[in-house]
A and B are shown apart, each in its own frame.
Chain A
Amino acid sequence: MGERQSRLRRIAGDAGVKAWVQLIQTGLSSSVQDRGRKGHRSAGMAVSGYLDARLADCANALVGNLEPSVELRGQSAAKASSLACLEMVALGPSIMARGAPVKLAIAGELLRPATLTDERGQTRSVPAWQSFVLQPGQTLAVGAMESVAYLAVQGGWDVAPVMGSRSTHVRSGVGAAHGYTLKAGDTLPCLPAQDLDLAKLASPWRACFAHAVGLAGAAADGAKRHASEWRVRVMPGPQEDHFDAASLTRFYSEGFSVSAERDRMGMRLGCEPLRHTSASYAEIVSEAVVPGSIQVPANGQPVVLLADAQTVGGYPKIATVISADLPLLAHACTGAKLHFVRVDAQQARAALLERERQWQAWALTLREVVVNADLGMIDTERLYSANLISGMSAEP
Chain B
Amino acid sequence: MTQWRLREQGDSALTLELGRSIDDALVERVHAVAQAIVKAIAQDSRLREVSDVVCGFATVSVHFDPLLTDVSSLSTALHELACSTGSQPMQGRTWRLPLCMDERLAPDVQHLCEHAGLSAFEVGERLQALRLRVCMIGFMPGFAYMSGVPQTLAMPRLAVPRKAVAARSVAIAGSMCGVYPFESPGGWNLIGRTPVLMFDPRRPQPSLLAAADTVCWQLVGLEEYGLLEQRWASGKVDCEELLETQV
Q: Are the CB atoms of B61 and A348 closer together than 8 Å?
A: no
Chain B, residues 118-130, CB within 8 Å of chain A (1/0): the string is 0000000000000
CA of A312 to CA of B54, assembled, Å:
9
Partner of B52 from A41, A292, A317, A348 at Cβ < 8 Å: A41
CA of A370 to CA of B1, assembled, Å:
59
CA of A38 to CA of B206, assembled, Å:
14
Which B residues are in CB contact (< 8 Å) with A171? 140, 184
Which stretch in A99-107, A112-120, A220-228, A282-290 binds the other chain?
A: A282-290
Which A residues are in CB contact (< 8 Å) with B53? 42
CA of A172 to CA of B199, assembled, Å:
10
Q: Are the CB atoms of A312 and B199 closer together than 8 Å?
A: no
Q: Are the CB atoms of A348 and B11 closer together than 8 Å?
A: yes
Which A residues are in CB contact (< 8 Å) with B211? 42
Question: Which residues in window 1-44 of B have CB below 8 A to A?
Answer: 7-13, 15, 17, 19-22
Task: Report A292 CB to chain B, min CB distance, Å.
Answer: 5
Is the C-beta of B58 less than 8 angstroms from some C-beta in chain A? Answer: yes
Q: Are the CB atoms of B9 and A238 closer together than 8 Å?
A: yes
How many B residues touch the partner, as a band?
A: 35 or more
Q: For chains A and B in complex, what number of residue pairs have CB atoms within 8 angstroms?
A: 144
Residue of B nearest to A234 (CB): B10
Give the size of the chain A interface in residues (CB under 8 angstroms): 44
Chain B, residues 60-87, CB within 8 Å of chain A (1/0): the string is 0101001100010000000000000000
Q: Are the CB atoms of A41 and B12 closer together than 8 Å?
A: no
Which of B10, B13, B19, B21 is the most central at the interface, judged by chain A CB atoms within 10 Å of its CB? B10
Question: Which residues in window 166-223 of B have CB below 8 A to A?
Answer: 181-182, 184, 199, 201-202, 205-207, 210-211
Task: Report B113 CB to chain A, min CB distance, Å.
Answer: 29
User: Contacts A44-B142, A171-B140, A286-B57; is A293 near B201 (CB within 8 Å)?
Assistant: no
Q: Are the CB atoms of B10 and A290 closer together than 8 Å?
A: yes
Q: Are the CB atoms of B20 and A285 closer together than 8 Å?
A: yes
Which B residues are in CB contact (< 8 Å) with A284? 20
Is the C-beta of A237 less than 8 angstroms from some C-beta in chain B? Answer: yes
Task: Report A254 CB to chain B, min CB distance, Å.
Answer: 21
Question: Which residues in window 335-362 of A have CB below 8 A to B?
Answer: 345, 348-349, 352-353, 356
User: Contacts A237-B7, A290-B9, A323-B11; is A345 near B71 (CB within 8 Å)?
Assistant: yes
Which stretch in B104-112, B131-139, B239-247 binds the other chain?
A: B131-139
Residue of B nearest to A174 (CB): B201
Q: Are the CB atoms of B10 and A45 closer together than 8 Å?
A: no
Which B residues fall within an 8 A CB radius of A?
7-13, 15, 17, 19-22, 51-59, 61, 63, 66-67, 71, 136-143, 145, 181-182, 184, 199, 201-202, 205-207, 210-211
New contact pairs (16) apart from A43-B210, A238-B8, A285-B22, CB-CB < 8 Å: A40-B52, A42-B53, A43-B141, A44-B138, A162-B202, A163-B201, A172-B182, A235-B11, A238-B15, A286-B57, A286-B138, A288-B59, A310-B138, A320-B9, A321-B10, A322-B10
Which A residues fall within an 8 A CB radius of B?
38-46, 162-163, 169, 171-175, 234-235, 237-238, 284-290, 292-293, 310-312, 317, 320-323, 345, 348-349, 352-353, 356
Would you list the 8 A-B pairs with minimal beta carbon distance, nearest first?
A312-B138, A287-B56, A320-B10, A288-B61, A43-B207, A41-B52, A348-B11, A288-B54
20 A-B contacts, Cβ less than 8 Å apart? A40-B206, A41-B52, A41-B54, A44-B140, A169-B141, A172-B182, A235-B10, A285-B57, A286-B138, A287-B57, A287-B61, A288-B9, A288-B13, A290-B10, A290-B13, A292-B10, A312-B138, A320-B10, A345-B8, A348-B11
